[in-house]
Amino acid sequence: MRTIKSLLVVTAVVGLMTTMGARSFAAPLLPSFPSVWFPNQMIAGQSKLVNPRNINNDYINVDWIVFYDADGIWGHPGSFVYMYQLENTAGSSAIRVFNVKYDGTGVSDEIGIKAGDLDVDTALWLGHNTTNFANLNEPPSPKETEPGGSPQGIPTNYNALRLLDSVSFTTIDIGITRESLVLYIIDPRPPMYGEAKAQDGTTWWGMVTLLGTTYGDPVPVPSPEPQVALLLLAGLTGMLVRLRMSKS
């Protein structure tokens, strides 16, 4: 009986972990993601990453678009394209590295950099602006902001690298009032909100928790595969069964 109760607890914990991982922040600049995407749908938002030493006045913004590429415009039909553009809106120093953290980076179809400005319409994306995405201009949250400068560098000035649990984009120095080119991940898994961090030497920007309050925003990342939760449940179940057998 205790074993059954323990399994129920484990199942509840795994379910809670999955629910928390998939939760939406439901604000205009951090919109909800649909459970069912229609072909070629795009959803846009803006996330704010803060410096833990000065959470109010030292920050950068990340413009982003998630695109369900049903037709394979980016070369991978049926996958999701995650596009990010770094904006050094009020950062105290230049941005050199941008890490997007998510499970199973090896599952991703492609990572890379595209020349151009995410704010402007192209053959690959609708411009990240209020004409195309009304939520970028909706109250009550702060409206989408722009630093005013143009994208910095060319694709060869950037690099994209798969790490164990993240994708790392390195850039030339993105100075204040300037923007990066478009950094992208193509992955078959739909989005959830997850963690990202930008860095410049000893300076970094991300999500910061102080005295129980979290400052800064998440960004869209590929959601964990369902098999991950199932494997976790199976592993914990096996441990409980072995523990029960050892006591009997």
Give ∠ CA 140-141-145 in degrees, rounded to 5. Answer: 130
Give the dihedral of Cα atoms 37, 127, 99, 161; nearest 10 deg.
90
Within the chain, strands assigned E span 42-51, 54-69, 79-87, 95-101, 110-114, 159-162, 166-174, 182-187, 191-194, 196-200, 203-205, 208-210, 213-215, 219-222
Q: How many other C-beta atoms lie within 10 A of the C-beta of residue 165?
A: 11
Confidence (pLDDT) at 226: 56
- Mean of pLDDT over the chain: 84
Q: What is the DSSP letter of 101?
A: E
Region 45-56: what's the mean pLDDT?
Answer: 94
For the chain, give every domain's residue range. Answer: 1-22+226-248, 27-222
**Three-class secondary structure of residue 59 per DSSP:** strand
Look at residue 47 in the predicted model and tell me its pLDDT.
Answer: 96
Q: What's the pLDDT score for residue 95? A: 96
User: 91-114 b/e with 16+ CB inside 10 Å = b?
Assistant: bbbbbbbbbbbbbebeebbebbbb
191-210 pLDDT tens trace: 999 999 999 988 999 999 88
The C-alpha atoms of residue 78 and residue 101 are separated, in whole angstroms, by 22
Of residues 38 and 211, more confidence is placed in 38
User: What separation, in Å, do the N-terminal and C-terminal C-alpha atoms of the chain show?
Assistant: 13
Q: What pLDDT, in 10s, does the model give residues 139-194? A: 776 788 888 788 999 999 999 999 999 999 999 899 999 999 999 999 999 999 99
Confidence at residue 88, expressed as pLDDT on a 0 to 100 scale: 94
d(CA 142, CA 136): 9
CATH topology of domain 27-222: Immunoglobulin-like (2.60.40)
Give 82's strand partners.
66, 185
